[in-house]
Amino acid sequence: MPEEGVPLSPNRELLTTPEIVMLSSIFVSQGVNKIRLTGGEPTVRRDILSLMRQIGALRPRGLKQLCITTNGISLHRKLDSMVEAGLTGVNLSLDTLDPWQFQIMTRRKGFDAVQKSIERILEMNKMGAGIKLKINCVVMRGVNDREVLPFVELTREKDLEVRFIEYMPFDGNKWNKGKMFSYAEMLDLIRGQFPGLAKVKDDKNDTSKTWHIPGFVGRIGFITSMTHNFCGTCNRLRITGDGNLKVCLFGNAEVSLRDILRKSNRGEPIDEEAYEAMKQIEMDRKQGRVPPDQPLGVAPNEAELLDVIGIAVKGKKAKHAGLGTLEHMKNRPMILIDPIPASLRDQMPHKIRRLISGTGILGRAPCSIHNPSSAGFRMLSSSSRRCKEDVGEGKEKRRVQLTHVSDTGSAHMVSISEKPVTSRIATAACTVRFSNKTAVSLIRENQMKKGDVLGVARIAGIMAAKRTADLIPLCHPIAISHVTIDLGPGEKGDTIEIRATVACDGKTGVEMEAMTAASTAALTVYDMCKAVDKGMVIDGVRVVLKDGGKSGRWEMD
């Protein structure tokens, strides 16, 4: 839990229980066979048992697994009822086995309650409950890395799986590369104590790499998102508490399913009363009491939902960004994602597999609210243009204008007083071109009379980024958190390529700081090399990436 806590979303923005059930039904109708309720903390929902019963009722329609991810504090009190509702798996988040450290990390008491939940699951499994228990531990260097071996010891006599997760860069956890304890380091540590550690064959779409120690009852696994991504075989989809679909946990691209779903209710949240009314319309239609052309509950919106979902899944990238980019990306942490159906552990559903392969998705028509045996077929669109139109529908187009020019035509500084503070990053690039290769050779050999060209240019770029507001009249002063200047010879040996990346937590972007840093680094190269080559040219000064703020992420092709 971040020290500052997390902001809570207004209730109106969150999915209602009927909306969660509707979306679950839609996904199951398209071949999804596993749904996981995650968090936030799903067990704190007042209606968690009712919600699980309604989702569990989808088993005759193809749902095979209903799981939760929980902190385990109140789980033991509801576990029996959850199993009756259809619970098949529990992922329990636990980063320490030290009660005092637990209180520091979670900012609350409850370690004994978590242990009680674990023991209750193991006890129920001995009676045949069949609950798959996995303990998720995020390993952080200098925080809990010393507890890796004690966690492994849990598997000696307990039938459970401990999964060690590489520290990931999400907002709110104060990302620090030095904290990451890698998969390779964990393996070496465990092998030092247990030389017999052996790899277990993983299922096709497992996110975890599973290992076993001979003689131990349980197993251990590793989720290696940072050092060995598994994007190519990942078949998970995630829906946030406010109804946005994320095809990748590490991506910052989201598309709203909530807004499309609520079109059938004039944009209002669908509560139990509205849901019952929709089901009644469907029953009346089947009994011939309403005209056949009257909209069938949410069916028209289900068709649109399936279009958008299909396009989003097809656009999933082969792998997520690397460490250098991820740590600066604006990405909602999972702690801000409310307990609603997420997805899918086993083999990718047949229909979605066909969509990704480019053959289209020929699926059942939008599922009936009341009866799963709806007949008919339809083809999902794969047009990316359609996706953009759907997502942006209903939003008023803004008039393009210069932000620093008033209505009277005079220049002024833009007010950012009401903007929220967000994490922002920008990268700018440029090139210094020489008329011959002599200068670059001297730079490589550090033979320039003025000294280390690249080292001095790097410092100059960093200093310039911090002084941008003094140079650009209407630029806001910004408390920069990080500046990186990368310089080096080009492939042909007659250029110096420069990239400057600037990051901050602030109310406005850092594009100008990145441009100033890159330009000043280039000017410094020019100054230190002009005695050797007077025909140098500085060109291509441009922003190649910006992220954060209202407009989100932009990247030059």
* pLDDT at residue 178, as a whole number: 73
The amino acid sitting at 345 is R
Domain extent listing, the chain: 11-280+317-344, 422-555
How much is the mean pLDDT over the chain? Answer: 79
The CATH code of domain 422-555 reads: 3.30.70.640
What's the rounded mean pLDDT across residues 410-417? 66
**Burial zone of 167 (CB within 10 Å; 0-12 exposed, 13-18 middle, 19+ buried):** buried
What's the rounded mean pLDDT across residues 499-515? 92
Catalytic residue among 470, 527, 547, 557: 527
What's 523's DSSP letter? Answer: H
**Burial zone of 170 (CB within 10 Å; 0-12 exposed, 13-18 middle, 19+ buried):** buried
pLDDT at 383 exceeding the cut of 50: no
* pLDDT at residue 319, as a whole number: 52
pLDDT at 109 exceeding the cut of 50: yes
Work out whether strand 480-489 and strand 362-364 pair parallel, antiparallel, or are unpaired.
Answer: unpaired
Q: Determine the distance from the C-alpha atom of residue 512 to the mean position of all C-alpha atoms in its chain, rounded to a whole number.
A: 28
HSE-up (13 A, CA, CB side) for residue 72 = 25
Tokens, residue 23: 């979306």
pLDDT at 511 exceeding the cut of 50: yes
In this structure, how many other beta carbons lie within 10 angstroms of the beta carbon of residue 479?
8
b or e along 498-526 (b: 16 or more beta carbons within 10 Å of the residue's beta carbon)? bbbbbbbebbbbbbbbbbbbbbbbbbbbb
Residue 497 pLDDT level (bands cut at 50, 70, 90): very high
In this structure, how many other beta carbons lie within 10 angstroms of the beta carbon of residue 465?
29
pLDDT at 374 exceeding the cut of 50: no
CB 477 within 8 A of CB 512: no
What's 489's DSSP letter? Answer: E
* pLDDT at residue 285, as a whole number: 64
* pLDDT at residue 287, as a whole number: 66
H or E element: which one contains 23? helix 17-29
CB 375 within 8 A of CB 365: yes
Contacts of 547 (CB under 8 A, 6+ apart): 252, 328, 329, 330, 424, 425, 426, 553, 554
Phi then psi for residue 64, to 5 deg, are -110, -35
Asked if 11-280+317-344 and 422-555 have one fold, the answer is: no
pLDDT at 342 exceeding the cut of 80: no
Work out whether strand 65-70 and strand 480-489 pair parallel, antiparallel, or are unpaired.
Answer: unpaired
**Burial zone of 333 (CB within 10 Å; 0-12 exposed, 13-18 middle, 19+ buried):** middle
What's the rounded mean pLDDT across residues 61-69? 96
pTM: 0.56
Contacts of 347 (CB under 8 A, 6+ apart): 203, 204, 205, 235
CATH among 3.30.56.10, 3.40.50.1220, 3.20.20.70, 3.30.310.160 for 11-280+317-344 = 3.20.20.70
* Cα–Cα distance, 166 to 327 (Å, whole number): 13
* Cα–Cα distance, 427 to 2 (Å, whole number): 28
Catalytic (active site) residue 242: no
pLDDT at 346 exceeding the cut of 50: no
